[in-house]
Structure 1
C-alpha cells in the first residue's frame, strides 16, 4: 500500500496552490502521509530535502515538471503520478476536473505502472547524466555555423554529419523535439533509441531507429577551416554540458527506468489522436 507521498508543484501553474492543498487534503483524510517539495529561491528542487523514504511522487504541473522529477529521482525507483495543469499532456494523466475520483481510485490500488526507458550520457571525465526525453547536441551560444561530428554505433562509424545538431531520443521523447525536427513517433513503452539530425546539410539524412542495447558515441569534429568547434550537450532541455573538437559523448540505455503511474484507461493512441486533432 502507498503510504508516504512527496508532492512537487509547478508554482507557475498552480499559482495559489489550490490543487496542491486539495491533493494534500485527500491524502491526509485517507490516513496517508504527504510532504511538500522544498525549493530554493530560483524554484529549483532542493535535493538534500527530499525524504529518504517515498512510496509515490505526485507532480502537479505539466509534462516538463514530471520530467524534472523523474531526473531528480533517478535511481530511487519511485513511481510518479502526474496531475495535469496545462494543455493535454503525454505524461501527466490526471485532470483537475477528475482529481477526487482519480486520487480515490489510486488509494484503492486501482492503477498500473508503465516503465519508461531513460538514456544515460557519459563524458570523457567520467561524469554522467540522464534523460527521460532526449539528449541533444547543438551549437553553443549565438554561433550560427553548422557543427561537424561523427556518429559511431557499437564502435562502428555510422555517419559523419554537418548539421545544426542531433537529437538522441527515447520513445517517450519521440513526441517532443524529435517530432518537431521531423523524427518518427514511437510507442512510449518501447525499448529503442531514435536518432534525428537537426537541419542536416545533406539530402539523404533521415532519422535512424536503433536497438536500446546499442551504444552510441558522438565525436565532435573540427570546423570547416580547422577551427575548434564548441557545442552544448543538453539533457531534457535542463542541464547543459559544453564539449569541443575531439571530445566524445557516449550514450546508452540507462539501467534505471522511470515508473509512470497510470490511472485512467486513455491509450497513447487516443492522446496522440487528440493532439493531432488539436493541431
Structure 2
C-alpha cells in the first residue's frame, strides 16, 4: 500500500516540534480526514494518544521516537519515509474496554491500549474482590491497587510493577497487583484474552479507589468490568526487524 498523504501528530517536546517542521516541509502534512496514515512524533505517551485518535479515524499509525522511552516507536529517520511506510507490516492492536461503575450507579466507559489500573486514593490500602468469568478468584485482596495489561502494555506500568512480559500476538492478559499486602504471596495471574474481569471495591467509602484506562481516570468507583474489545482495533505499522514481537523478546534479555 502507498502512503502518499501523511498526517503528522507531534508531542509538545522541542525535539518533536522541530522534527514536525522538517517532515511537514519535506512530505506535507495532510489533515487526518484526508490522510492515508498517521505518523506520531514523540514518546510512548504520544503513541497512546495517536492510537486513541486512530481508533476513530481508522488510519494506520507509525511512530518515530522524539521522547524519552519510545518502546512503541522507531528511530527518528527522516529520508525515504514513504518507502519505509509502504514496506512496513501491520499489527492489529485491540483495546481493553472498561466499564467503571460509581456508587450512585453511573457507568463510565473507557478504552485502554496499555492497561486498566485500579489505584487507592488515600493512605489506606484498597480492598478488592476479583471475579474472573463470573467466578470469584479472590474474596479480598489488600493492596495499593491492581493492573490488567495487554501484551502491548505489558512492558509499561505492568513491567515496572514486576508483572510478566507478554509476547505480542499471544492471546493473554497480565493481572498484576501493586504492593499487595494480602494475600501476602500472591503475585498475579496470566489470563486468556477472552476473560471477563470484574473487580469490586470493598469498603469503598473508607478506602476509595480510582480506575485509570491508559491516562483517563474515573475516581471513587464501586466496581469495574474489563474485557478485550473484539470489534475495534488500530493497525500499527512496523518496519521489518523492528516489530513489537522482536522488541518484546529483546526486553526480556536486558539487565
Q: Is the CA contact (8 Å cut-off) linking 1:75 and 1:256 kept in structure 2?
A: no
Residues 53 and 250 from structure 1, CA distance in 2 versus in 1: closer, same or farther, beyond 3 angstroms?
farther
Q: What are the residue-to-residue correspondences of 1:251-270 with 2, within 5 Å?
A: 251-254=226-229, 255-268=231-244, 270=246
Kindly report structure 1 stretches of 4+ aligned residues shifted beyond 6 Å.
none
Match of residue 157, structure 1, among 120, 128, 136: 136
Task: Note the residue ranges of structure 1 that are not aligned, 5 or more in a row.
Answer: 36-50
Structure 1 position 89, deviation (Å): 2.5
> Residues 74, 24 of structure 1: CA spacing in aligned structure 2 closer, same or farther, 3 A cutoff?
same
Q: Taking structure 1 as reference, are residues 90 and 131 closer, same or farther at Cα in structure 2, changes over 3 Å only?
A: same
CA contact (8 A) 1:132 1:258 kept: no
1:56 offset after TM fit, Å?
1.1
Deviates more, 1:52-61 or 1:209-218: 52-61
Q: In structure 2, which of residues 143, 157, 164 is the aligned counterpart of residue 177 of structure 1? A: 157
Cα displacement string for residues 27-46 of structure 1 (whole angstroms, at most 9, x for unaligned residues)? 24xxxx623xxxxxxxxxxx
- Secondary structure of the structure 1 residue equivalent to 2:199: strand
Q: Does the Cα contact within 8 Å between 1:105 and 1:263 map onto a contact in 2? A: no
Which residue does the alignment assign to 2:20? 20
1:217 equivalenced with 2:198 (yes/no): yes
State the SS of the aligned residue for 1:174: helix
Correspondence for 1:46: none
Unmatched runs of 5 consecutive residues or more in structure 2: none
Does the alignment pair 1:117 with 2:94?
A: yes
Maintained 8 Å contact 1:192/1:211: yes
**8 Å Cα contact 2:54-2:61 kept in structure 1:** no
Q: CA RMSD in A?
A: 2.3
For the Cα contact (< 8 Å) 1:111–1:262, is it kept in 2? Answer: yes
Q: Would the aligned equivalents of 1:171 and 1:188 in 2 still touch at CA under 8 Å?
A: yes
State the distance in 2 between where 1:106 and 1:268 align. 16
Match for residue 89 of structure 1? 70
Deviation per CA, 1:163-213, whole angstroms, max 9, x where unpaired?
A: 000001000010011111111011123232110010111333122111111
TM-score by length of 1: 0.80
Residue 272 of structure 1: CA displacement? 4.9
Change (3 A) 1:117 1:229: same
Question: In 1, Cα distance between the equivalents of 2:88 and 2:245?
Answer: 19
